[in-house]
A = this chain, B = another copy of it.
Amino acid sequence: MITIEKIEQMQACIMAERQKGKTIGFVPTMGYLHEGHVALLERARKENDIVVLSIFVNPLQFGPNEDFDRYPRDFERDYKMAERAGVDIIFYPSVPEMYPHEPSVTVKVHERVDVLCGKSRPGHFDGVATVVTKLFHIVMPHRAYFGLKDAQQVAVIDGLIRDFHFPIELVAVPTVREDDGLAKSSRNVYLSEQERQEAPALYAALQKGKALIEAGERDVETVRKAIVHHIEQHTTGVIDYVEVYSYPELKPLETLQGKIILALAVRFTNARLIDNIVMNVQ
């Protein structure tokens, strides 16, 4: 496994591998890896000759009052996890390497962004789409792996790849969870002991919503309210949103039918957690 910090070197290295006919699998991350990332890396390992992991905490996708400076970083730990997962190349650029000056061009995302996390994070997905565009040109992968835990991000990247015709296959990988159901996240470390005990209630609330639908409920608001109620009863967190939309279009629904997403975001003292279930309704 090698670590590359420079864009030019990364491009030259990939060009050489592609020339040899090798396939490239790419897992873009902000580091502080957990089993969710490992699931992406393992999937990429299975499907490609070369696996590239990028670690870059992208300032462009953080709002002015968000946790860019506080975002957890631990390269040595990431390095060991990457090695165990069979990564070939870690791309680990600095902020000045990726943004030597104010960006003169950025990607603007017009759809699938004014809801869920995008609603309370204006410009967030523009920042994500911009850095992913840059990374795609630097790593030139055949396949890119994203976790379904951030289902809105998957929807946005799907639109980016399709509308900009990137010759890249998007692979969406299911959310990895703790034994108690809590979705793995780099931000879980910020939960207090009590909050950590409450946090599995988020997934339980989504499952409750799913069970209602499976039992025949088709009214959006009834399902939404049941999820809200469960969170309020079982956690001290403050609900940012609980929504039920079509997926991946993320449009409001008249009635529950087709591919849908149940999604939530809840703020605890020092961490905002998100989770979702995507399901098909007959």
The answer to whether A103 touches B110, judged by C-beta atoms less than 8 angstroms apart, is yes
**C-alpha spacing A106/B130, complex, angstroms:** 10
Which A56-113 residues have C-beta < 8 A from chain B?
Answer: 102-112
The answer to whether B163 touches A104, judged by C-beta atoms less than 8 angstroms apart, is yes
Per-position 1/0 for A129-158, Cβ under 8 A of B: 100011001101000000000000000000
Q: Which residue of B lies closest to A21 (CB)?
A: B19
The answer to whether B110 touches A107, judged by C-beta atoms less than 8 angstroms apart, is no
| A32-40, A46-54, A164-172, A176-184: which lies at the interface | A164-172
Contacts of A112 in B (CB 8 A): 104
The answer to whether A129 touches B110, judged by C-beta atoms less than 8 angstroms apart, is no
Q: Is the interface of A mostly helix, strand, loop or mixed?
A: mixed
Given contacts A105-B160, A160-B105, contact A138 B165 (CB under 8 A): yes
Contacts of A271 in B (CB 8 A): none
B104, B108, B137, B140: the one contacting A105 at CB < 8 Å is B108
- Copies of this chain in its oligomeric complex: 2
The answer to whether A106 touches B102, judged by C-beta atoms less than 8 angstroms apart, is no
The answer to whether B105 touches A164, judged by C-beta atoms less than 8 angstroms apart, is yes
**C-alpha spacing A167/B108, complex, angstroms:** 22
**C-alpha spacing A57/B166, complex, angstroms:** 21
Chain A residues bordering chain B, tally (CB within 8 A): 30
Task: Decide yes or no whether A159 CB sits under 8 A from chain B.
Answer: yes
Q: Which residue of B lies closest to A8 (CB)?
A: B165
**C-alpha spacing A109/B104, complex, angstroms:** 6
**C-alpha spacing A102/B108, complex, angstroms:** 13
Per-position 1/0 for A204-219, Cβ under 8 A of B: 0000000000000000
**C-alpha spacing A140/B134, complex, angstroms:** 15
Q: Shortest Cβ distance from A105 into chain B, in angstroms?
A: 5
**C-alpha spacing A106/B21, complex, angstroms:** 32
The answer to whether A165 touches B111, judged by C-beta atoms less than 8 angstroms apart, is no
Task: Decide yes or no whether A11 CB sits under 8 A from chain B.
Answer: yes
Task: Decide yes or no whether A7 CB sits under 8 A from chain B.
Answer: yes
Task: Decide yes or no whether A15 CB sits under 8 A from chain B.
Answer: yes
Contacts of A129 in B (CB 8 A): 105
Contacts of A7 in B (CB 8 A): 165
* 3 residue pairs, one from A and one from B, having the closest CB atoms: A104-B111, A104-B159, A137-B165
- Contacts A104-B110, A105-B109, A137-B164 aside, 4 further interface pairs with beta carbons under 8 A come to A104-B109, A105-B107, A105-B160, A106-B107
A-B contact pairs, 10 of them (CB 8 A): A11-B165, A19-B21, A102-B111, A104-B110, A104-B159, A104-B162, A104-B163, A106-B110, A107-B107, A134-B163
